Amino acid sequence: MRLMFIFQLMVLAIASCDETEETEYGNWVKYSDYEGVTRSSAVSFTIGEYAYVGLGTDGDDYLLDLWRYDAAKNFWQQMADFPGPGRVSAVSFAANGKGYVTTGFNDDLDTEELNDLWEYDPSSNTWTQKTSFPGTARYDAVAFTLNDHGYVGTGYDGNYLKDFYRYNPTSDTWTQTVSLYGSKREAAVSFVIDNKAYIISGRNNGVYLYDFWAFDAESESWTELSLNDEDDTYDEFVLALGRYDASAFVVDGIAYVGLGVASSYSTSFYTYDPSTNEWDDEVTEFEGSGRSDAVAFVLDNVPYIVTGRNSSQRFDDIWAYYPDEEYNEYD
C-alpha cells in the first residue's frame, strides 16, 4: 500500500512538471554554407528575392567576389566581381532596385580610407562607379535606406564621426543631412522599422556607447530613446548596447540586435519593440560560434546571419532564425 502511495505521488509530480514546463521558442537552422571563402567585414544588400554578399577579408587578402543567395533553393551563385579596390568595414545599401557599396579601409593603398561609391545592377550583373561619398573617406560607418534613398554616416577617419549624407540614386547626387545628435562613433549598427532608422551601440575612444537614436527623414531630426535605470527593461537595454561590430535585423516590426564584441565574441541576441520602447532578452542564443563583423539580411521575412570572425578565425556558415518555431538543438 505504501509503495502504491509513493508511485501516485511520483505520477502527480511528473504531471505537475509537464504542466508548468514552458516550451522554448526561437530556432536557429544552419543552411548551405556560403560558397565564397571564409571572411569577415563583408557587405550585403537585398534586392527582390535575393541577397548579395561579398568583399571583406579572409585574413590575408582583400576580397572582390560577390555571391547571390537564393533562399528558395538554398543556393549560392557567384556574380560579377567588384571592380573597385578591395576593402573591409565598408557600408552597403539597396535603393531603387540596385545595390551600393561605399567607404571602407584598405591598408595596401596610399590612402587607406575610402569614399568611392559603386552601384551594382542585378539586371545586367554589372558594377558602375558613381559620385563619391562627399564626407571624409572613412570606415566602420553605418548605412540604411529610407524612401528609396541611401543614408551613410558616422565612422572613423582618424577622428570619430557623427555626420550623415543622403544619396539620391535617380540623380546620382549626395546631400548632407542633419548629423546624429548623440555621441560620435565607429562600429555601430542600424536598422529600419516603419520608415524610421535606428542607431545603437558602437565605440568612441575605446568606450562602449549606450545612447540610442531614431531618425525621421520627413522632419530630418533625431529622437533619443535611451533608457535609464528606472525603466523596466534597462538591464536588457544595457546588455544589448554594450557591444560593437554587432549585427541587426527586423522581423514583423521587431528588431533583433546581437553578436559582435561584448566582453568576448558574443552569441546573445536582444529584441527591441518600438511600440513600447522596450528591450527583451528572451531570444535563443545564436547556435554558431560567437562572432563579430558578420552580415545579416532578411528574405521573405526570414532573417539570416552569414560570415564573420572570432579573433583570427573567419566563417562561411549561414544561419536562419525562426522566432515562432519551437527550439530544436539538432537541426
Ranges of the chain whose pLDDT falls below 50: 1-20
Number of Cβ atoms within 10 Å of the Cβ of 243:
27
Look at residue 25 in the predicted model and tell me its pLDDT: 84
* 85-326: CATH architecture: 6 Propeller (2.120)
Q: Which candidate, 197, 165, 201, places its Cα nearest to that of 183? A: 201
Look at residue 14 in the predicted model and tell me its pLDDT: 44
Residue 240's H or E segment, with its range, is helix 234-241
> Domain ranges in the chain?
85-326
Strand order in the sheet with 269-273: 247-251, 254-258, 269-273, 278-280
Quote the CA–CA distance of 172 and 195 in Å, as a whole number: 22
Number of Cβ atoms within 10 Å of the Cβ of 118:
18
Contact 154, 165 (CB under 8 A): no
Quote the CA–CA distance of 140 and 162 in Å, as a whole number: 12
Look at residue 22 in the predicted model and tell me its pLDDT: 62
Look at residue 328 in the predicted model and tell me its pLDDT: 87
Query: How many percent of the chain have pLDDT more than 70?
Result: 93
Look at residue 331 in the predicted model and tell me its pLDDT: 76
Quote the CA–CA distance of 198 and 255 in Å, as a whole number: 10
pTM across the whole model: 0.92
SS3 139: strand
Quote the CA–CA distance of 64 and 318 in Å, as a whole number: 20
How would you classify the pairing of strands 43-47 and 50-54?
antiparallel
